[in-house]
Amino acid sequence: MNTANMLRLVLLAAIWGSSFLFMRIAAPVLGPAVLIEYRVGFAAVFLAIVGVFLKKRLDLRANWKHYLVLGLLNSAFPFLLFAFAARTLSASVLSVLNATAPMWGALIGALWSRQAISGRSALGLLLGTAGVALLVGFDQVTSRAGAGLAIAAALVAAVSYSVASAYAKTARSVEPFANAHGSMWAATLLVIPVLPFFPAPAQPTIGIMGAALALGVLCSGIAYILYFKLIQDVGPTSALTVTFLNPLFGILWGALFLGEVVGWHTVLGAAIVITGTALVTGFRPAFLGRAFVPLSFKRK
C-alpha cells in the first residue's frame, strides 16, 4: 500500500461515501426505481465508453447468466433498497448501515461453508449489532414515519452485497472490468419491470438530475475503476479498507451539505460498527501506518 494507492483508497471512500448524499437528495423526488434506473443506466453507458477505449470485451454469450446474478445481487436489488431507505433516513445513518456488509458477509461465508463461528467473529457480530442499535436508537430520524422499514431495507441491502460476494467466490472467473460493465447492463434491464410500480413523485430539476448522473458516472462507473485498480495493486483484503472509511465520508458529506446533526451516538455507533466488522473479517490495519512512512525511511 504505497502513497499513490492510499490516495486512491481515500478518494474511493470519499466517492462511495457521497453516494448516500446523492441518494438522499434525489430519491424523494425521483423515487427509488427511477433514480436507480438512471444510476445503473448512466454507469453502464459510461463503462461501455471506457470499454471501447480499453478494448474490453463482455463476452455476453458465455457470461450473460453470471452478469444477471451479479447485477441483481450486487447492484439492482441493494441499490433499490438503499434508494427506498434514502427517502427517510439520513446520509449518515445510511453510510453506517452499509458498513455492516462485510460483517454479514463473514457470517454468510461461515454458514455457506458450514464452519463454526470463532469467538472473535461472534464478538464482532455482537458489537456490530450493538453499534447499529445505538445508532438508530438515539438518532432523531428513527422517529420519522416509516423509519423502521427503511432501516430494515438498508440492512437487507447490506446483506445482499454479502450474498453477492459469496456468489462471486464460487462463480466462474470473469475479468473484473467485465464484471462491473456487464453487471451494470444487467441491473439496467432488471430495474425496468419495477418502474411502473414506483413512478417519480415529482418533476426533477437540473440539480436532481445532476445528483442521478453523479450516482451513475462517479459513484458507480469511476468508483468501480478505482476499486478494481486497488484490487489489482494491493489485493482484495487491503482494498476492503474502503468499507471502514465510507461511513466517515458519509457522515461528513451529510453534515456539510445537508446540515445533518452529528451526535455522539452517530460517532460512537459508527466506531462500534467498524470495530465489530473488523473483528468479524479479521481485518488488521497495520499497513495503514506503513503507507504513510516517508519513502526515504522505507526498506529497499
Contact 4, 179 (CB under 8 A): no
> How confident is the model at residue 290, as a pLDDT?
45
Contact 1, 234 (CB under 8 A): yes
Query: pLDDT tens digits, residue range 39-67?
Result: 999 999 999 999 999 888 888 888 999 99
Higher pLDDT, 284 or 160: 160
| pTM, rounded to two decimals | 0.87
What mean pLDDT, rounded, does the chain reach? 85
pLDDT over 70 percentage in the chain: 91
Higher pLDDT, 140 or 19: 19
- Cα separation values, 13 from 10, 56, 227, Å: 5, 26, 10
Helix (H) or strand (E) segment spanning residue 248:
helix 241-258
Question: Does the structure show a pLDDT above 50 at 10?
Answer: yes
Question: Does the structure show a pLDDT above 50 at 207?
Answer: yes
- Among 179-193, 211-225, 253-267, 272-286, which stretch is predicted with the lowest mean pLDDT? 272-286
Helix (H) or strand (E) segment spanning residue 235:
none
Contact 66, 172 (CB under 8 A): yes
